[in-house]
Amino acid sequence: MIFKSFNNKSFKHTDYYTRLPEEEREIFDVLSSVFHFKVNNYVLEHLIHWDNVPQDPIYKLVFPRKEMLSALDYEKLRQLFKIGLDEKTRNNFVQAVKKKMYPEVKHAETGFPKMDDKIITGAYRNFPTILNLFPDPMVKTCHAYCSYCFRWVAFDNIEAQKKTAYRDPNDPVAYLKANPEITDVLFTGADPLVLKAETLKKYIDPVLEIESVQVIRINSKALGWWPYRFTTDKDADALLELFEYIQSKGKHLNFSAHFTHSRELENEVVKEAIQRIKQTGTVIRCQGPLVKGINDTVEDLVLLWREQIAKGLVPYYLFVEADHNPESCFRIPLAKALHIFQEAQKRTTGLARTVRGPVFMNDLNRVLLDGVTEVNGEKYFVLKSLQSPPETDGEGKIKLIPFDDQIKDAGNLFELFKEDRSLVDIL
Ligand code: SF4
């Protein structure tokens, strides 16, 4: 299959657009003016079940939903479309709405590594042993966009891309050498695997020379969105050779595959792509968020983990969807998330217990929602910090917050784990 992608304009010229129910077409027109949209021919032809639109989970995974905007903004925007205002005239309101939707990254500054008081552009360090790297071409795009993704602001934004990425592959080298406690380097994006293998190699090569770096991590949704990246793309073989090359340098290569729904793992192309990656010795660990309407039932998780185990993949993290969308329309109550996770675990092989979840991942903390407990007749959620910035000394700590079967977030995790309070104080 040759890769063909469609944006909000070109998608309207496909047969799929005409197949959308009328209301969905309207929602698409209105929302794709605010949010970035990208889909490809594989997702359209093989993943979405068109007979089930708009309920289909993969459809919801790609196409924007009404609830992403406040009811008021959606209605105002809809009216502007209805009276037939041209794009230019609508633009002021679209930009204002867009601005409101910008994800808030509360502690970004804390994660910017510095050397001689100068920020290392294109690097982010929220945990002591991992450095996240964002080479310039990597932050630009993915094979398709997920409706719940908070990175959409950077997709078409040259300014944002410049500020958050580096161009010279040697830029992070001095910092890594000066900080040998960093053992893992993570290449992330958008999606690093949209790049040609030779470009990727240019950025990975300097890192391989640093002895203290033991693990190269690549986060990608290419297996879900475009498995041909590992099979028939022109440089698919070169990419797999790169995977082998990284390991020949004595590094562990971890491929963190982003999967949300079991259907992404079901067809023959994915199967073949996984086999080819595994033949290089690369370990594939799977992660993804729990998302309302897409994978928020026990059955969904059971199927997802079963598919992963059957294909020899390692379930790794199940995240609580990052709260970067002001409407939080993708989130489910924490109590429900915990219930789904625990019930699904009971119904899956013990091999799936490698997965940790539900886990909150914000700009500075990785916190596990570990259960519910009762103290003096009151119920509490049990939160455990898996990783936190060294200055907060929060790692490994357990905190309790009052149980509420409707709440969808756990409040300010940064402050919670920074506080030097014992459980006794809290209670
Ligand atoms: S593949 Fe990852 S970075 Fe790209 S849109 Fe989806 S969640 Fe965002």
| Cα separation, 81 vs 308, whole angstroms | 43
For atom 8 of ligand 1, the residue with the nearest CA is 149
pLDDT for 63? 96
Closest CA to 178 of 139, 228, 212, 222: 212
For atom 7 of ligand 1, the residue with the nearest CA is 149
**CB neighbours (10 Å) of residue 184?**
17
**DSSP state string for 215-280:** EEEEEE-HHHH-GGGGTTSTTHHHHHHHHHHHHHTT-EEEEEEE--SGGGG-SHHHHHHHHHHHHT
Do 179 and 390 form a contact (C-beta atoms < 8 A)? no
For atom 3 of ligand 1, the residue with the nearest CA is 190
**DSSP state string for 288-322:** EEE-TTTS-SHHHHHHHHHHHHHTT-EEEEEEEPP
The residue count for the chain = 427
Compute the C-alpha angle 133/134/138, nearest 5°. 135
HEC per residue, 226-243: CHHHHCCCCCHHHHHHHH
| Cα separation, 390 vs 418, whole angstroms | 10
Q: Which of 149, 193, 264 to mutate to test the pocket of ligand 1 (most atoms within 8 A of CB)?
A: 149
Question: Both tokens of residue 148?
Answer: 């719940």
SS3 170: coil
Q: Which of 152, 191, 194, 295 to mutate to test the pocket of ligand 1 (most atoms within 8 A of CB)?
A: 191
| Cα separation, 83 vs 320, whole angstroms | 39
Number of H helices and E strands in the chain, helices first, is 18, 15
Residue 243's identity, in one-letter code, is: F
| Cα separation, 205 vs 65, whole angstroms | 41
221: CA distance to ligand 1 center in Å? 7
79: CA distance to ligand 1 center in Å? 30
pLDDT for 423? 52
7: CA distance to ligand 1 center in Å? 15
For atom 2 of ligand 1, the residue with the nearest CA is 190
| Cα separation, 242 vs 257, whole angstroms | 17
What does each of the 427 residues of the chain score in pLDDT, given as a tens digit? 999 999 999 999 999 999 999 999 999 999 988 888 999 999 999 999 999 999 999 999 999 999 989 999 999 999 998 888 888 888 888 888 888 877 766 666 778 899 998 999 999 998 889 999 999 887 789 999 999 887 776 777 777 777 788 999 999 999 999 999 999 999 987 899 999 999 999 999 999 999 999 999 999 999 999 999 999 999 999 999 999 999 999 999 999 999 999 999 999 999 999 999 999 999 999 999 999 999 999 999 999 999 999 999 999 999 987 766 666 789 999 999 999 999 999 999 999 999 999 998 876 788 999 999 999 999 999 999 998 877 777 888 999 999 999 999 888 887 888 766 545 455 5
Which atom of ligand 1 is nearest the CA belonging to 219?
Answer: 2
- Any idea what DSSP says for residue 103? P
SS3 283: strand
Q: Can you list the domains of the chain with their CATH numbers? A: 5-100 (no CATH), 109-363 (3.20.20.70), 368-427 (no CATH)
| Cα separation, 259 vs 225, whole angstroms | 9
pLDDT for 189? 78
Which atom of ligand 1 is nearest the CA belonging to 142?
Answer: 4
Phi, psi at residue 315, to the nearest 5°?
-65, 130
Residue 394, Cβ density class (10 Å: 0-12 exposed, 13-18 middle, ≥19 buried): buried
Which atom of ligand 1 is nearest the CA belonging to 221?
Answer: 1
421: CA distance to ligand 1 center in Å? 37
Ligand 1 interacting residues, C-beta cut-off 6 A: 142, 145-146, 149, 151, 189-191, 221, 258
Strand partners, 5: 40
pLDDT for 329? 86
Q: Which of 35, 40, 151 to mutate to test the pocket of ligand 1 (most atoms within 8 A of CB)?
A: 151
| Cα separation, 188 vs 260, whole angstroms | 18
| Pairing assessment for the beta strands 123-127 and 118-119 based on DSSP bridges | unpaired
